[in-house]
Structure 1
């Protein structure tokens, strides 16, 4: 179900009631059927797909991760979301192949118009490129494109695009050094926390 975006005045909600009910159902479902299922990676992938997420093969999502609205989430093959990561997908968040979102990282598509009369909510999609790594406690803001293979260091904060195969750190994030591309197209990789012998067939 797509988000119902409404025209917003002083008291009008940003999202319609059907969207809110779906989010409530998702929260209850994840709490009861997903949050305690550490060994059952496939089951959590199933729950995410059931609520509209696009989930590739071999994806890992930790049971303690917070997914605001699965309908706005795209997880490419072997993407990983670690413990207590906050995926605040008010707009679409795309996490590329083999990309890793580490513990307590915050990927946030929402902000507010600080000059607007009603402090209007604004959203903008985020793309985390293939092989990128958002490390522990880092923050990626609305509208950011994290290039392929880029790294945002621990506690780093970015509200601007990150160049491919480049390491960033700090608040605001600054470029530290290039990162050497490490993959070969002719050699299959394994997924994060997925046994190598199961990678090719994981669903």
Structure 2
């Protein structure tokens, strides 16, 4: 019971697992690469692209705002191979990685997340940031260079999650524990 709008473009859909009550909006481009797992109550907004051919994971209650760029792999720019997707893979040196977005993490508009990054549970990233390294749980990050601003409270969020799951008679295990 999830929704993928007709205007979303999903490549390698066989590699995608998506939980209940999640939504992928129109105009999302999603190359599911090696493996893509999206938990329940996840939202991926319009004009987001998830590319690179690597692994992608979003845990429950997380979200990507409009225009995010999630990159799970990259060409070798140091001269280790030919570059661009039109070249057969035996002549390239693409480095595929994974992106992990923790439960309750929220990613602001036009954020770029580079390969190999883990976004901690409950982290919030302000609009326009470039995420190059792992982010700590329950911390708010801002600016192009994605610096920590302050702690984010988990108390009310986790209480509301508990109430919602009780009301809906649901139980959930983190996608990272499956």
Q: TM-score, normalised to structure 2's length? A: 0.76
Unaligned ranges ≥5, structure 1: 1-29, 37-43, 190-196
1:52 pairs with 2:15: yes
Distance 1:156 1:65, change over 3 A: same
Unaligned ranges ≥5, structure 2: 83-92, 171-178
Normalized per residue, which structure has more helix?
A: 1
What is the aligned residue count? 153
Root mean square deviation of aligned Cα: 2.8
* 2-structure distance, mates of 1:124, 1:148: 20
Match of 1:176 among 121, 133, 149: 149
Distance 1:199 1:65, change over 3 A: farther
Report if aligned partners of 1:123, 1:142 keep a CA contact under 8 Å in 2: yes
Who is 2:162 aligned against? Answer: 186
1:91: how far off?
0.7
Match of 1:87 among 45, 50, 54: 50
Match of 2:35 among 56, 60, 72: 72
Distance 1:50 1:143, change over 3 A: closer
1:126 pairs with 2:99: yes
Normalized per residue, which structure has more strand?
A: 2
Larger gyration radius, structure 1 or structure 2: 1
Report if aligned partners of 2:11, 2:32 keep a CA contact under 8 Å in 1: no
Distance 1:129 1:161, change over 3 A: same
Q: TM-score, normalised to structure 1's length? A: 0.67
